[in-house]
Amino acid sequence: MVTERLPLADRTSAAARRFLCWCRHHPNATALGLYAIIALVANFPVYPGDPSRLNTSTTYDIAQSTWFLAYTPYAFAHGHSLFYTNIVNYPTGVNLAQNTGMPLLGLLTAPLTILVSPVASLNLLRWCAFFLSAYAAFWVFRRFVRWVPAACVGGLLYGFSPYMVTQGSLHLNLTFVPLPPLILYLLFEICVEQRQRAVRSGIFLGLLIVAQFYISAEVLATTTVVFGISLFYLFFLNIHDVTTRAMHAIRAGAVALCIILPSTFYPVWFMMHGRAHYTGPAQGFVNVFNADLLSPFIPTVAQLVTPRHLAEIGSNLVAGQGDLSENGSFLGIPLILFTIYLIARFWRRLWPLYFALVALTIFLFSLGPHLIVDGRLRHLPFNLPFEKLSHLPFLENLLPVRFSLYVVFFVAIIITLGLDWIHDDSERRNNTSISRAVVRNSLTGRFFGGAFALVTLISLLPSFPYSSFALRVNWSETKAGLKIIPSGSRLLTYPYPTVYEDAPMLWQALSGMRFNLFGSYALVPGANGLASLMPTNLSPASVQAMLEDSVTPTPVPGVPDIVATNEAIIAHSVASFRGTARFLIRPHAWTAVMTIDSVDTAHNTFIAWVKRLHPILVEVNPSTKFHDMGRGRPNIEGLVAGAHVLVTGTTTTGTVNTHSAQLLREFIRQNRVNDVVIDLGLRDSGVVAQWFRLALGPPTRAGAGGEVWLDALQLATRPIPAAVPTG
């Protein structure tokens, strides 16, 4: 029997109908798949588990996150503490409980880290962070609505919000947020609905809170604050029901505390009193990142469709620094108007009013203690609500702008409920006998509603995918190349690991934590015990300063501003200059147009560039003449970074000389440096290599993008060679 095949168009239509039918019967899998695909687009061409590429950067927070993921399996395998280590910032070490360690994520991806690479683990988690966060919100919203697309839209708003898009560029710990919606839902269940047994709810709540603590204690703290705000309003809005619901909530809370306290007591104690802990706020000063009053209305470059002028304004609203990773408060005028419309239409159901009140309060918290409008501080006769939080233990480290996550969460709840109620009203109209005029009005409303929804979607479209970079590490810094370094060695590197350049931490992570590393990008106690992002100062200070400042764009507080250079200038005169750069050499003086890089008024020196070829140290003395600095201050304090100056002076030996070589040898002896690795691909690396050759002699191995000295401690005891070898 021969069957006639259907035309291609009919077969395609039938397949589409079957697919849509499957989607209707499997809403959870459909939503999860949709979110996973969007997350793939966000990171393209980096795929989950990709060991060869990194998103947004190959240094800074991305390299730091990779290091944290690599440290957890290393600590478990070698019996080391999860909350303290001195394999970075050697010998002082780092209090990991006060840093963004993410031990739970490191444990979950430990097999991938060990078998493939910590970079593969990072890329897997970056993908999971988006779609799991969106799906968690979808799952919660499904508990309250019947129309699946409404919950799906709410999940999209939460999981791919401007907060997620901006924080996702750098901060894995702040974007892996599937647990806050689940925690807030369980707290709602315990305090309001109370449909489950108190013990069962308490166990789940305790486990979720402990899990969130070991992903990000900061996110747990902000979630706790948000719950406190929500409960405050619920208490007064339902004060007559408090007594009937209190005992259930107390029992569930007691069960949760029985899980939370023993699971978190030691790391919390270590955070406050453990080795290498700092005091005060994590940023070293309070209120660094506050949301701007205009930030919900003005888009940033993180949005795909936005006027360029507006994007430039919006991208600089957070502390005026253009820090896009912390600038995630944007909601968009269409979304805000739609939210207001839903509140006005369904206010009699009360829940929209409640969620709007909570969202507005959280937004006030995100503004910080003082009002900032268009990047400018506005003085009010009172402080904003966040001022009270900034003085409380455990909460002083919170950055106000990061409350934006919860603003969009509660806005997403309003949108989800509103869409579901609109759908219910539409269904009722379709099932009843109504006039043609009502039908016509309904169709018109749907048309304009759809058009407005499209505008809202376009305004929120993220500028995906993130930029990505191949993981290019010189062979000297790869796992194979570093095998020449004995295991457990104390390694000195250039670049010296700091917040500005932490590539050696990535080398360490890729090599399986093979060596101890001087310097770090981590929060450590500074000279006064307050938090510092710069590594602990070791003696002699000028040696560490030369290693740090050569890759540091701004002067490091407390240490000399000095870079490695073969040449220095004793300035006879310094004058402001406008025009093209040029230089000439005179018989008894040196004259050049220079661009100032940084100024160190404490030591009467500044670093400047000639034709952007190499930095030169300029020394100023009491006899130096200053001309027309444009600030009415004819001295070194009138100089600013970026200014063009005409310098006349006498050339002299730069910072790389016999004296600095002797100091380098002293640094190696005092800090018992075993080995040295210099990356030759960075600014000043050639001059730094000459400095080490002068102090230690020829390298043990040169080439493949780096130079390596083994047994540096022994080499530092030999006489200094007569001249600097050139190579």
pLDDT in tens, 10-29: 556 667 677 677 777 788 89
CA distances from 178 to 131, 160, 165 (A): 9, 12, 15
Q: Is residue 608 part of a domain?
A: yes
Domain final position from 635, 653, 671: 653
Given pLDDT bands bounded at 50, 70 and 90, which one contains residue 727?
Answer: very low
Burial of 458 by CB count in 10 Å (0-12 exposed, 13-18 middle, 19+ buried)? middle
Specify whether the CB–CB gap between 675 and 711 falls below 8 A.
Answer: yes
Sign of CA dihedral 688, 690, 696, 702: positive
Q: Indicate whether 324 and 439 sit together in one domain.
A: yes
pLDDT at residue 3, as a whole number: 47
Q: Which of 283-287, 527-531, 563-567, 673-677 is least confident?
A: 283-287
Domain count, the chain: 4
Residues β-bridged to residue 596: 608
Q: Indicate whether 60 and 186 sit together in one domain.
A: yes
pLDDT in tens, 514-564: 999 999 999 999 878 888 888 999 999 889 988 987 777 666 666 677 888
pLDDT at residue 392, as a whole number: 78
Residues β-bridged to residue 637: none
Domain span including residue 408? 308-460
Domain final position from 273, 293, 319: 273
Mean of the per-residue pLDDT values of the chain: 86
Q: Indicate whether 72 and 221 sit together in one domain.
A: yes
Given pLDDT bands bounded at 50, 70 and 90, which one contains residue 36?
Answer: very high
Specify whether the CB–CB gap between 206 and 370 falls below 8 A.
Answer: no
Q: Is residue 387 part of a domain?
A: yes
What is the average per-residue pLDDT within 591-620?
80
Burial of 580 by CB count in 10 Å (0-12 exposed, 13-18 middle, 19+ buried)? exposed
Report which secondary-structure segment, H or E, holds 122: helix 118-142
Given pLDDT bands bounded at 50, 70 and 90, which one contains residue 479?
Answer: confident
Residue with more model confidence, 632 or 510:
510
| Alpha helix stretches (DSSP H) within 433-590 | 436-460, 503-510, 541-549
Q: Identity (one letter) of the amino acid at 49?
A: G
In this structure, the strands spanning 94-95 and 371-373 are unpaired
Taking each helix axis as running N to C, give the angle between helix 217-237 and helix 179-188, from 0 to 180 degrees, rounded to the nearest 10: 30
CA distances from 47 to 36, 123, 170, 229, 302 (A): 11, 7, 17, 39, 21
pLDDT at residue 518, as a whole number: 96
Given pLDDT bands bounded at 50, 70 and 90, which one contains residue 442?
Answer: low
**Residue spans of beta strands (DSSP E) within 9-83:** 53-55
Indicate if the pLDDT at residue 616 is higher than 80. Answer: yes
In this structure, the strands spanning 376-378 and 516-517 are unpaired
Measured CA to CA, the distance from residue 627 to residue 630 in angstroms comes to 9
Given pLDDT bands bounded at 50, 70 and 90, which one contains residue 454?
Answer: confident
Taking residue 557's Cβ as centre, other Cβ atoms within 10 Å add up to 11
Q: Is residue 84 part of a domain?
A: no
Q: Is residue 468 part of a domain?
A: no
pLDDT at residue 531, as a whole number: 87
Residue with more model confidence, 619 or 552:
619
Measured CA to CA, the distance from residue 403 to residue 180 in angstroms comes to 12
pLDDT in tens, 176-206: 999 999 999 999 999 988 899 999 999 999 9
Measured CA to CA, the distance from residue 58 to residue 326 in angstroms comes to 19
Q: Indicate whether 486 and 532 sit together in one domain.
A: yes
CA distances from 153 to 141, 147, 352 (A): 10, 11, 17
In this structure, the strands spanning 490-494 and 675-679 are parallel
State both tokens at 638: 């009138």
Please provide residue 501's backbone torsions phi and psi, each rounded to the nearest 5 degrees. -160, 105
pLDDT above 90 covers a percentage of the chain that reads 53
Q: Indicate whether 219 and 159 sit together in one domain.
A: yes
Domain final position from 601, 620, 653: 653
Given pLDDT bands bounded at 50, 70 and 90, which one contains residue 102?
Answer: very high
What is the average per-residue pLDDT within 395-420?
92
Q: Which of 31-45, 120-134, 349-363, 626-640 is least confident?
A: 626-640
Q: How many helices (H) and strands (E) does the chain have?
A: 24, 20
3-class secondary-structure state, position 565: coil
Measured CA to CA, the distance from residue 190 to residue 193 in angstroms comes to 7
Q: Indicate whether 663 and 648 sit together in one domain.
A: no
What is the average per-residue pLDDT within 607-614?
73
pLDDT in tens, 570-585: 888 888 765 544 444 4
Let me know how long the chain is: 727
Q: Indicate whether 534 and 664 sit together in one domain.
A: yes
Measured CA to CA, the distance from residue 321 to residue 323 in angstroms comes to 5
Specify whether the CB–CB gap between 572 and 649 falls below 8 A.
Answer: yes
pLDDT at residue 4, as a whole number: 52
Q: Indicate whether 680 and 706 sit together in one domain.
A: yes
Indicate if the pLDDT at residue 704 is higher than 80. Answer: yes
pTM: 0.89
pLDDT at residue 1, as a whole number: 46
Q: Is residue 552 part of a domain?
A: no
Q: Indicate whether 348 and 268 sit together in one domain.
A: no
Report which secondary-structure segment, H or E, holds 231: helix 217-237
What is the average per-residue pLDDT within 82-93?
95
Q: Is residue 38 part of a domain?
A: yes
pLDDT at residue 445, as a whole number: 61
pLDDT at residue 477, as a whole number: 83
SS3 labels along 577-631: CCCCCCEEECCCCEEEEEEEEEEEHHHCEEEEECCCCCEEEEECCCCCEEECCCC
Measured CA to CA, the distance from residue 295 to residue 307 in angstroms comes to 15
Number of alpha carbons in the 13 Å side-chain half-sphere of residue 154? 31
3-class secondary-structure state, position 314: helix
In this structure, the strands spanning 605-609 and 524-525 are unpaired
Q: Indicate whether 434 and 491 sit together in one domain.
A: no
What is the average per-residue pLDDT within 467-475?
86
Q: Indicate whether 438 and 341 sit together in one domain.
A: yes
Q: Indicate whether 239 and 106 sit together in one domain.
A: yes
pLDDT above 70 covers a percentage of the chain that reads 88
Q: Is residue 483 part of a domain?
A: yes
pLDDT at residue 721, as a whole number: 61
State both tokens at 31: 């939503």
Measured CA to CA, the distance from residue 430 to residue 436 in angstroms comes to 12
Indicate if the pLDDT at residue 431 is higher than 90. Answer: no
Q: Is residue 679 part of a domain?
A: yes
Q: Which residues contact 363 (CB under 8 A, 6 or more apart)?
A: 291, 296, 329, 403, 404, 407
Q: Which residues contact 411 (CB under 8 A, 6 or more apart)?
A: 157, 331, 335, 339, 359
